[in-house]
Structure 1
Amino acid sequence: MSDQEIVHAYEVGDQVASASYHLTRDSLVRYAGASGDFNAIHYRDDIAAAVGLPGVLAHGMLTMGLAVQPVVAWLGDPTLVSGYQVRFTRPVVVDPVDGVEISVVAKIGQIDEEAGTARIDLTTTVNDETVLGKAQVRVRLP
C-alpha cells in the first residue's frame, strides 16, 4: 500500500451521513416554480383541508430529493449507482408560521465487497416520525 492510499473499512450499520432541512411555505412555492408542480395542496390551506389533508404538504419529490442529499454530499453524484427508492408513508405538513424540520440519517444497510458497492438506508423523520419508508440507494464506496 502506498503512502497516499487510504483504506476505508465500512460495516453494516455505520452511519455515513446526516442532515436536517428546514422547509417553509416559501420553500414550497420556490420548489413549485422549479418543478412545475403547482398542485394547490402544496400552498393553500383551504384546498388541503377540502381534500381531507391535515395541512399544506411538502411535495413528495422535494422530500425524496432532500432525503438523498446527505449521501450525495458524502460521496458525490458519480458514485450513485442505481436503485434510489422510497415509499411515501406519512405526509410532511408544513406549518404556515414555523415551517417543518426534516431530518435524514444515512446508514450502510448492506455491502457487496466484490462489486465495491453498498446499499445506504435513509431514515427520514419529521417530529420523530418516519415519513419515508424503505428509502434506499445503492452507491459505489470510495
Structure 2
Amino acid sequence: MTALAVGQVVAEKTYPLTRDSLVRYAGASGDFNPIHYRDDVAESVGLPGVLAHGMLTMGTAVQPVVEWLDGAGDDAGVLGWISDYQVRFTRPVVVHPVDGAEISITATIARLDEAASTARVDLTVLFGGQTVLGKAQVVVTLA
C-alpha cells in the first residue's frame, strides 16, 4: 500500500462553476429543470437563485481524488481507483449569472485498511465558506 497516514490531505482544489457549466451539464445529463438556468423559476419556488445540479457538484467534488489516484500530482503512475462514493446534499450551490460560483474541495485520508488495500477519503466541500456536501466519502482501492 502506498505510504499514507490518517489525517493526511491528499488533494485540495477549487473549481469554478458558471452558468455555461450548468448549460453544458444539462446537455450531457439531460437534466433541463429550469431551476438550473432561469432565475425567475428558481425564485418562484423559493430558491435564492439558479442552482448548480447536485450531481454536477458531486462529480466536481470527487475530481481531486480522481486526479490524485491517476498520479496527476507529484506521484508518478496510477495509485488506485474509486470503489465507492457517497454524499449527502446539505446546501445548494447558487450560481450567480455574472460571477458564477466556486467550490473548494479538500480530500483527507480518514481510514486505512492495510489488509484490503483500501482507504476512505473524506471530502470537505465548501461554497461561500459553508459545507455543501455532508458525509462525502470516497473509498479507494490502492494499487
Q: What TM-score do you get using the length of structure 1 for normalisation?
A: 0.91
Alignment partner, residue 74 of structure 2: none
1:66 aligns with 2:60: yes
1:98 aligns with 2:99: yes
Alignment partner, residue 53 of structure 1: 47
Alignment partner, residue 112 of structure 1: 113
Report Cα offsets for 1:81-131 as digits up to 9, x if no partner: 422000000000001110001110000010001111100001000111100
Residues of 1 paired with 2:2 and 2:112: CA distance?
13
Report Cα offsets for 1:59-89 as digits up to 9, x if no partner: 0000000011000001138833422000000
Gaps of 5+ in 1: 1-6
Alignment partner, residue 22 of structure 1: 16
Tell me how large the CA RMSD over aligned residues is. Answer: 1.6
- Residue 15 of structure 2 aligns to a residue in which SS? strand
Asked if the contact 1:80–1:137 (Cα under 8 Å) also holds between the matched residues in 2, the reply is: no
Gaps of 5+ in 2: 71-77
Alignment partner, residue 140 of structure 1: 141
Residues of 1 paired with 2:60 and 2:123: CA distance?
11
- Residue 64 of structure 1 aligns to a residue in which SS? helix
**What percent identity do the matched residue pairs reach?**
68
Structure having the higher Rg: 1
Residues of 2 paired with 1:40 and 1:78: CA distance?
40
What count of residue pairs does the alignment treat as equivalent?
A: 136
Alignment partner, residue 3 of structure 1: none
Residues of 2 paired with 1:81 and 1:24: CA distance?
27
Where in structure 1 do 4 or more consecutive aligned residues deviate above 6 Å? Answer: none
Asked if the contact 2:122–2:135 (Cα under 8 Å) also holds between the matched residues in 1, the reply is: yes
1:10 aligns with 2:11: no
Residues of 1 paired with 2:141 and 2:108: CA distance?
14
Residues of 2 paired with 1:141 and 1:107: CA distance?
15
Alignment partner, residue 75 of structure 1: 69
